[in-house]
A = this chain, B = another copy of it.
Amino acid sequence: MRISELADATGVSIPTLKYYLREGLLHPGRSQGPTRADYDDAHVERVRLVRTLIDVGRLSIDRVREVVTALDLPPESRHLLLGTAHDVLRQPSGGPPPDGVIARITALGLPDCAGSPASTQLAQALSAAERAGWPISDATLTSWYAAMTRVADADVVPELAAMSPADALHHAIIGNVLTDPVVIALRRVAQEALSAQRFEARDS
């Protein structure tokens, strides 16, 4: 497959593909002479991954490079693997992890996993909300955690155990990127339903 065919197959322009090659988001094709290289299905898949991360996940080029680097050299243990996936999906505005909040999380009985990316992100999100004048009570947090456990139940499927590290990592990253918007949209729909139910009767 030549670069023009890769462009046709993915809907991404040749200059953009060359840009991705330069940026290391895409492996060079198998070189066949100075002016010819061969791309295969793995390249098509990789381009689609990159576009999904950029379009849906709003990841920067730098972050996408982190993803593909991790995919090319995935951690062996399944535990570190999820951590890697969560790490590349961290918020762009993540400052230093605040101390007091972490203590609060562990005090609540949420599994801390020794400062895992997820715990760090939770701590950052909580302190950002608090700084902006929106403190979240322990009761709310506990109830939300229970709800999100039900959501995550569909995420951590047994099939993951049989996958190669690279496939499992790919699965975890792309799954979260694609379904986070679904989960958030469902939250909005539920808000509208509850609002209608609670306010509709007495309000126009």
Consensus secondary structure, chain A interface:
helix
Given A134-B179, A183-B187, A195-B79; A56-B147 close (CB under 8 Å): no
Determine how many copies of this chain the complex contains.
2
How far is B158's CA from A202's CA once the two chains are assembled, in angstroms?
12
- List residues of chain B with CB within 8 A of the CB of A111: 189, 192-193, 196
Q: Which of A119, A153, A174, A191 has the most CB of B within 10 A?
A: A191
Q: Which of A93, A124, A174, A181 has the most CB of B within 10 A?
A: A181
How far is B136's CA from A175's CA once the two chains are assembled, in angstroms?
10
Q: Quick check: A82 and B195 within 8 Å, CB to CB?
A: yes
How far is B182's CA from A56's CA once the two chains are assembled, in angstroms?
19
In the complex, which of the residues B55, B154, B174, B190 contacts A93, with contact meaning CB atoms closer than 8 Å?
B55
Q: Quick check: B184 and A183 within 8 Å, CB to CB?
A: yes
Tell me, rounded to whole Å, the shortest Cβ–Cβ distance linking A126 to chain B. Answer: 6
Q: Which of A111, A124, A147, A203 has the most CB of B within 10 A?
A: A147
Size of A's binding interface in residues, CB under 8 A? 82
Given A77-B203, A191-B156; A186-B140 close (CB under 8 Å): no
Q: Convert A42-61 into 0s and 1s, putting 1 for each residue whose CB lies closer than 8 angstroms to a CB of B.
A: 00000010001001101000
Chain A residues with CB under 8 Å of chain B are 48, 52, 55-56, 58, 76-79, 82-83, 86, 89, 91-93, 110-111, 113, 116-119, 121-122, 124-126, 128-129, 132-134, 136, 140-141, 143-156, 158, 160-161, 172, 174-176, 178-196, 198-200, 202-204
